Chain A
């Protein structure tokens, strides 16, 4: 069994080593991220059966948890580690072909740091440590958004930076208040004593945390940065931002709400917030002509759906939420990579410029179509079981509010279908009168990740039972708070 701390330390060490490796050869550095995340992927998958049985706790520096920092590799953490490693590995294959000639080493370093930060956030059991890794993730994201160096990129990076830093500041104040109140930073330790103080000392940090992490998780009033940042970043980074960064922000919100504070009596508010985010995201996506902005708004919508699913606070709802989260990560990464490849070919982000792509780039168009169908929730792709599980959980919940909100979710899905079908229609059926141009040249480093993402979406769509055990265990970890606390602080 591999020590979970290596999932953080190995990519971090390799990222530190890249400036030295550059002196040996400039060529090899582009393979370093793939190597690091392949390591993570293999060993994280091997650790999954172990954590299904019992949580793996790791102490750092040899001090028992409330004194030192501990890592908690439970089902939720390992689910995210596998997801991050998978997306990290496949997207880094896509980047074998350099995105920009200059500063290639900095791209790879920042990319690895971004995903290392994400891995750290999902593994740690200490709230301040979570903040530190969250900062690594955010800082790397800010600079990667500006990586292309055009005006739009820098402008949206500054927007992202300002909103993100304000959010981080709020989180830090919240941590300060919690430490002042409880004299400890371990999440399980705080969670065990959260009800021993007056409610004002609980709700103020809670609000600060949700606002701070909500910026990264793109909850409704806090997501003004997202469409710009996601659409002006390089396509690989858009895939990671949409597929990993938002989800990790959502993980932090979940961890805070479910484990740290154990607040389950105000879920109605979150249900409303989720559906509002969903509707606004989908409506804005519908009115976009720019493909990357459309995908970015679609991410906002999907996050709304995820918030709705998790706020149901039932095993079925949370398991469905995790399934939909995986489906969104894989689907959106695929869509951004496919769209990025088409944009590189046409030189334009306008949807109208993709006319006739079905003939010129048959495989990329097919991959985009499958991703779009999965996003809408058509069988046999991965989005279908996800949305189905969420619907089932909502019906099972049976409250009046949930049922009313369900109607809005169905409306949002119809809108989602409309704008994705519009793109698919442009790809295949528009521009018949265009002269038949020759097929685009093939770059294998670009096709392999798209092919694997497509394969995963179809396989998990047909056999959702491959991962449902892990998802149920994850849902239990979030819901069974006393057990989580007792396993760390006996």
Chain B
């Protein structure tokens, strides 16, 4: 029998009540969407997440524990993942799905490990990791009512059988004679010889969750590259949505180009959104690379001439660098925009010195954000002896590395 880790999210459990429509009710649907997210997130630990009931899922623990280095590590990882997913990382992620903090009273997740779904369920109720081979002994003291069948729950105690252990000790042929084959299955369950509780799975839950995981934003999409949503778009959007669910909206971004002078000013990275491709709001540069940089209407004096650098420091996070002249003294830019001496060597972020093989005339860069701060800057391209090329900025009395032509 398979050793299972059972995960219960108490805030997300609810009784389906026999009709599938009740799970579409506002509260049930909301919880089920959260649960779908959790199942999705847990596939990081193990690809075979088995949704058992709303709010309850199981996974085989042997594989992941070898991979992560022990069952304890798996439990920690699962706890972290579930807790992080239940937390409202960003309320804008799904405005229709606010997380009610009162739902999470009593701990967001309960875990248990044992052989088979039934025992693992009991273990999770009390947060127990049953030792290998210890499942029959673990089951023994539980009341027969845990079998979940009203008939046996009522009859067995009358026969003086109050615990699963007492029921398990009854010879199988007597159980068969008195309760038939159905009773025999419960008997094997009580013995720990069978793992699963008949009829205690929510039918069709897996398919329902799979549909929810696609997300309404994908199912409702209509526009795409050629006016329709291609399979590739849906596939890509699924993966990116999943990454954002797990790591936050800012983890997956796309670049947006607009007018401006500095590379750092002209580009913004915004969180990826599923409706962005093909929105028609921006022209496409996808002309096979023949068109070069996107043409812009307004001339921007002082803009960097092409080609553009492949690496651009985020504005405000440029690394400080040193540039010295022949005498070893620091090179500066005068008020008239001239260098105080020939630049000879450069040191990046306190690293070793590299010879400068070429440099441009410094040109002034009066940027909006700089002028707001009443500062002026000068920029200069340099090539170094190791074959690299950089864009450096003189600002606030020193040199900064603005971009590298990697």
The answer to whether A and B belong to the same complex is no
Which residues on A are within 8 Å of B, measured CB to CB? Answer: none
